[in-house]
Each structure stands twice: as structure tokens, then as C-alpha cells.
């Protein structure tokens, strides 16, 4: 009787043929190649001209050849913005992580030559600096600046200000931009040293919901250098010099003010160096016709919020009409639309009359107040009218303009008294 092995009853697997190969797995392409195609599609984005105050301020500072420091929380898009900026400006991007380098990487490594006693010991620059010099242009991105220890920050002083690394001088076509996280959110972060902080234009980098959503959809804002009007260059320089010099003449304590707080010292603060940077930025913004919001970011990012806002207010007053011109033709005067600027103009006119009190000038000032009531908010003339009335001499007749303003002034005063009475019971009930 024949015997049978159990193996004889095992099912035989079908032969392998090309028919089992799936249609989405090409025979000559690896799966990583297919993944690479998907990654390429995800990275295929475009740019569009889109108003972006942060980006415009950054490009303006880069055009002015000033070192810029972007402050922002991790993941906010600082590195991506710099990468896109380099691509848009057609500049080779060189990224240096400051926190993982030694001080000698920025000051240069000593190299002993044939005769050190005669030739000295030169300081050899790192390879990335050599590549920048060979290219003649580029964007040097110093990332993670707030995690660099104090010794490295000290070594960066000469690089940021003088563009020197060892014995190597970076060409004028190289721009420097850095990025940092606030100390609270930085990995083992340090405060920036005051000498290093004072060499940068500080920009607070935040995210815009609309920009992020549209960018994730494939379209990001386009970074472009500002268009400078060649005909406005001399005028822009003159305006910037008058603005900064006039302001510092009136506010001498702000020429140099080192903050007493360590955190504030690591940000923008006023010094002769930062005022020089501010002057340059005002000239560039004027020649480019930049919006006030852009100039505000740059000025406050150079000398700090307090001095910067004072300077911006001073710039507004520089464009105000001359009080003497207004007194010469009060009925045809063009007054500013903004209430604070109109108030400043009217106060300036009253001050001009006080400085040279004459009957025709006094009458012209009243006519100007009538013009202000006809073209703007009536309550703005209350204080100037009250002050102007005190300048009247005994032999001066009351002009008809006062009669036209009397009702406005009385109504405004009654409104103030009613508001005061309504506030008093409210306070008493607290």
C-alpha cells in the first residue's frame, strides 16, 4: 500500500507574474522617487504682489544696508521669510547658526606662517565667509542669535558693524539679517548684549492670518526691493537730516539713553549710532514713498518705542503749514484733516500772534478759527479761541468773527459741564 507524505497535500502557490504589479508602482522607480514627486508638488508655490508691512520694512532696511534682527516666537516663519527674500532678490543665502559656533569662527582662526616674527599670525576666516567674498554678494543669515553665549556675541560685534571676519572684509553686496526668539521661548536663551543689540534694526515678526492661509494654499507675498525715485534723493536726505537734527535739538537727553533694564537693553534704544541708522531709514522711506506704518516699524525698531513715537509726531509737525502763511490768507487756508494736527496748527497760529501781537494779525487769527469751524470739528477751536481772546488790547475792536464763534464755544463748554456732572455721580457710586 503506497504511503503519502503530508507535503503532497500542501497547496502550491501560484507563479509570480508581471500581472500582480500594481499600476501605481512603476517597475523602474523606487517608492522614494514617488515620495519625492509628491514633496515637489507640495513645494510648488508661487508669489504675488501683496501689501505686507513687515516684509516691506524688512526689504527697506536691507536696501539701506543695515543689519536687521527679526524677533519672533518659534515657528512664526522667520527662516521661511529670509529664504523667500533671498530667492526674490536673487541673492545666495548663507545660513550660520550662531549658537553652535565658537568665538574663533567669527574672529578668525590663527594660522602660523613661515615666519611669524616677521609676518605675524593671520586670522583665517571660515569657509562660508570665503564663499561670500568669492560671490561678491549674498544674504548672510545669522540664526538663533538669542541662544549664542556672551563670548560668541562679543565675537559677532565686528562682523555686524564692520563686516570683517578675521582679516577678511565682506563685500558691499552682502546684507546681514539675523533672527532670534525671546528669551522665554528660546532654547537655553541669553539676553542680547547692549553693544550687539544697538547695531541692529529690530523688527517684531508676527504672523498674519490671511497671509498664512493664502500661503499654505500655494501663494505667498512677494518680497521686492523698494523703488527709489531718483528725483527725490536730495530732497529725501535733506528731509531726514532736518527731521532727526531738529528733533534731537529739542530733546537732547534722547541722543543717548541706555535703558536700566536688562531686557530692554537687548532691544532697540537711542544712541548716536542708532540715530544715524534712523536718519538713513527716513531718507530711504521718503525716497521710496513708503507708508507711515512701515516707517513706524523701522524707527521704533531702531531707537525704541518712546523716542520713536516722539520722532514720528515731530515728523507730522514738520509738514504742517507755516503760521505766518496762514495768517496772510486765513480765508483760503488749507488745514490738516487729522484732528491732532489741526489742533497743533491752530495752537501755532495763536502762539505766533502772541509773539507779535498786532491788530491785523489778531483779526486774521479769528478768521482762521472761523475757517476751521467751517471745515472741521468745532470743538478744536475752543482752546485756541479762549487763548486768543486773552490777547486782546483795550483799543482793539471786537471782530465779527468772534460773534460767529461765540455760539460754538458756549455750546462746547456746556457739553463739557454736562459731561463733568455725569462723571461725578458715577465716581461717587463706586
The whole-number average pLDDT for the span 216-238 is: 89
Encode pLDDT of 289-345 as tens digits.
Answer: 999 999 999 999 999 999 999 999 888 887 788 888 899 988 888 888 888 888 888
Name the average pLDDT for the chain: 83
Given a cut of 50, whether residue 423 has pLDDT beyond it is: no
According to the model, what pLDDT value does residue 89 have? 85
- Indicate whether 10 belongs to any domain: no
Could you give the residue ranges of the DSSP H alpha helices within 289-304? 292-303
* Same domain, yes or no: 306 and 197: no
Could you give the residue ranges of the DSSP H alpha helices within 26-148? 31-42, 53-63, 78-88, 104-107, 116-119, 127-135
Other Cβ atoms within 10 Å of 404 Cβ, number: 15
Residue partners of 205: CB distance under 8 A and separation at least 6: 54, 70, 71, 72, 76, 77, 78, 81, 179
According to the model, what pLDDT value does residue 122 have? 72
| The three cell numbers locating residue 384 | 485756541
Sign of CA dihedral 152, 157, 160, 164: negative
- What is the C-alpha to C-alpha distance for residues 292 and 167, in angstroms, rounded to an integer? 41
Given a cut of 90, whether residue 201 has pLDDT beyond it is: yes
107-116, 119-128, 250-259: segment of lowest average pLDDT: 107-116
For residue 391, CA distances in Å to 146, 351, 382 come to 59, 10, 15
According to the model, what pLDDT value does residue 415 have? 43
- What is the C-alpha to C-alpha distance for residues 206 and 81, in angstroms, rounded to an integer? 11
Sign of CA dihedral 38, 40, 43, 45: negative
Encode pLDDT of 144-183 as tens digits.
Answer: 888 888 888 988 998 998 898 877 889 989 999 999 988 7
Range of the domain at 208: 49-111+121-221
| The three cell numbers locating residue 304 | 525704541
- What is the C-alpha to C-alpha distance for residues 388 and 366, in angstroms, rounded to an integer? 8
Query: What percent of the chain is predicted at pLDDT more than 70?
Result: 83
Other Cβ atoms within 10 Å of 345 Cβ, number: 23
Of 360 and 2, the one with more pLDDT: 360
Given a cut of 50, whether residue 187 has pLDDT beyond it is: yes
pLDDT band at 27 (very low <50, low <70, confident <90, very high): low
- What is the C-alpha to C-alpha distance for residues 332 and 268, in angstroms, rounded to an integer? 44
| Count of domains forming the chain | 3
* Same domain, yes or no: 57 and 163: yes
* Same domain, yes or no: 98 and 147: yes
Q: Of 186, 221, 256, which residue is a domain's last? A: 221
Q: Of 318, 335, 365, which residue is a domain's last? A: 318
| The three cell numbers locating residue 354 | 502772541
Encode pLDDT of 387-416 as tens digits.
Answer: 888 888 888 887 776 766 766 655 445 444
| The three cell numbers locating residue 407 | 455760539
The whole-number average pLDDT for the span 239-261 is: 91
According to the model, what pLDDT value does residue 112 have? 67
* Same domain, yes or no: 54 and 71: yes
According to the model, what pLDDT value does residue 61 have? 95
Count of residues making up the chain: 430
* Residue 143, φ and ψ in degrees, nearest 5: -95, 160
Long-range contacts of 247-256 (CB under 8 A, 24+ apart): 247/310, 247/311, 247/314, 248/275, 250/314, 251/307, 251/310, 254/303, 254/307, 254/310
DSSP secondary structure code for residue 430 in this structure: -
pLDDT band at 200 (very low <50, low <70, confident <90, very high): very high
Closest by alpha carbon to 157, among 191, 192, 196? 196
* Same domain, yes or no: 314 and 353: no
3-class SS of residue 392: coil
Given a cut of 50, whether residue 4 has pLDDT beyond it is: no
- Indicate whether 186 belongs to any domain: yes
Given a cut of 50, whether residue 9 has pLDDT beyond it is: no
- What is the C-alpha to C-alpha distance for residues 161 and 428, in angstroms, rounded to an integer? 59
3-class SS of residue 79: helix
- Indicate whether 360 belongs to any domain: yes
- Indicate whether 380 belongs to any domain: yes
pLDDT band at 219 (very low <50, low <70, confident <90, very high): confident
Encode pLDDT of 35-52 as tens digits.
Answer: 888 999 988 888 888 888
Number of H helices, E strands in the chain: 19, 11
* Same domain, yes or no: 314 and 328: no
- What is the C-alpha to C-alpha distance for residues 294 and 51, in angstroms, rounded to an integer? 11
Given a cut of 50, whether residue 357 has pLDDT beyond it is: yes
According to the model, what pLDDT value does residue 208 have? 82
- Indicate whether 5 belongs to any domain: no
Closest by alpha carbon to 139, among 84, 96, 87, 86? 86
Given a cut of 60, whether residue 370 has pLDDT beyond it is: yes
* Same domain, yes or no: 344 and 282: no
Residue partners of 159: CB distance under 8 A and separation at least 6: 106, 165, 176
* Same domain, yes or no: 213 and 331: no
| The three cell numbers locating residue 147 | 541662544
Amino acid at each position: 500500500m503506497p504511503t503519502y507524505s503530508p507535503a503532497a497535500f500542501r497547496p502550491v502557490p501560484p507563479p509570480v507574474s508581471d500581472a500582480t504589479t500594481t499600476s501605481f508602482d512603476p517597475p523602474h522607480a523606487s517608492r522614494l522617487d514617488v515620495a519625492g514627486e509628491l514633496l515637489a508638488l507640495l513645494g510648488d508655490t508661487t508669489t504675488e504682489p501683496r501689501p505686507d508691512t513687515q516684509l516691506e520694512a524688512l526689504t527697506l532696511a536691507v536696501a539701506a544696508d543695515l543689519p536687521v534682527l527679526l524677533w519672533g516666537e518659534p515657528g512664526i516663519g522667520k527662516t521661511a521669510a529670509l529664504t523667500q527674500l533671498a530667492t526674490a532678490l536673487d541673492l545666495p543665502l548663507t545660513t550660520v547658526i550662531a549658537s553652535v559656533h565658537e568665538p574663533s569662527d567669527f574672529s578668525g582662526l590663527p594660522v602660523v606662517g613661515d615666519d611669524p616674527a616677521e609676518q605675524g599670525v593671520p586670522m583665517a576666516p571660515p569657509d562660508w565667509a570665503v564663499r561670500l567674498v568669492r560671490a561678491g554678494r549674498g544674504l548672510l543669515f545669522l540664526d538663533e542669535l538669542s541662544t549664542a553665549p556672551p563670548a560668541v556675541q562679543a565675537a559677532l560685534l565686528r562682523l555686524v558693524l564692520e563686516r570683517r571676519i578675521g582679516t577678511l572684509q565682506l563685500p558691499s553686496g552682502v546684507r546681514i539679517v539675523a533672527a532670534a526668539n525671546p528669551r522665554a521661548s528660546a532654547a537655553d536663551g541669553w539676553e542680547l548684549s547692549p553693544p550687539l543689540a544697538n547695531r541692529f534694526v529690530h523688527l517684531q515678526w508676527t504672523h498674519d492670518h490671511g497671509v498664512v492661509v493664502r500661503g499654505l494654499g500655494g501663494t505667498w507675498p512677494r518680497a521686492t526691493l523698494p523703488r527709489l525715485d531718483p528725483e527725490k534723493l536730495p530732497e529725501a536726505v535733506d528731509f531726514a537730516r532736518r527731521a532727526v537734527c531738529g528733533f534731537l535739538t529739542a530733546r537732547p537727553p534722547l541722543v543717548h539713553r541706555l535703558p536700566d533694564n536688562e531686557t530692554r537693553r537687548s532691544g532697540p534704544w537711542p544712541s548716536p549710532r542708532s540715530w544715524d541708522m534712523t536718519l538713513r531709514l527716513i531718507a530711504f522711506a521718503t525716497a521710496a514713498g513708503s507708508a507711515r506704518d512701515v516707517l513706524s516699524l523701522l524707527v521704533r525698531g531702531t531707537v525704541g518705542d518712546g523716542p520713536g513715537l516722539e520722532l514720528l509726531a515731530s515728523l507730522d509737525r514738520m509738514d504742517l503749514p507755516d503760521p505766518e502763511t496762514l495768517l496772510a490768507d486765513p480765508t483760503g487756508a488749507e488745514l490738516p484733516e487729522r484732528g491732532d494736527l489741526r489742533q497743533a496748527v491752530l495752537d501755532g497760529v495763536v502762539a505766533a500772534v502772541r509773539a507779535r501781537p498786532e491788530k491785523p494779525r489778531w483779526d486774521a487769527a479769528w478768521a482762521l478759527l472761523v475757517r476751521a469751524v467751517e471745515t472741521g470739528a468745532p470743538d478744536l477751536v475752543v482752546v485756541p479761541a479762549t487763548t486768543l481772546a486773552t490777547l486782546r488790547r483795550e483799543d482793539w475792536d471786537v471782530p465779527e468773527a468772534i460773534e460767529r464763534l461765540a455760539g460754538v464755544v458756549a455750546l462746547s463748554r456746556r457739553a463739557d459741564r454736562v459731561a463733568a456732572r455725569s462723571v461725578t455721580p458715577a465716581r461717587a457710586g463706586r
